[in-house]
Amino acid sequence: MGKRQHQKDKLYITNKEWKTEWGGKESGSDVGAKAAFRRLPFYCCSLSLQPFANPYCTKEGVVFDLL
């Protein structure tokens, strides 16, 4: 039993291990699934997803549509 018995026991994860075993960076084909999500524009209501007809903003910063 030599002193270098556990020389391959690393205290870090290599780049290859990160990609293959831990999720790492996704391939280009997986990015398309996330591209389907689009951010809602500021001028649209988050409940009805329609543009505001009569927008109003309070002093606290709450934006809503007047009916």
% of the chain with per-residue pLDDT over 90: 1
Contact 13, 26 (CB under 8 A): no
pLDDT tens for 44-60 read: 887 788 888 888 888 99
Contact 43, 55 (CB under 8 A): yes
* Predicted model pTM: 0.36
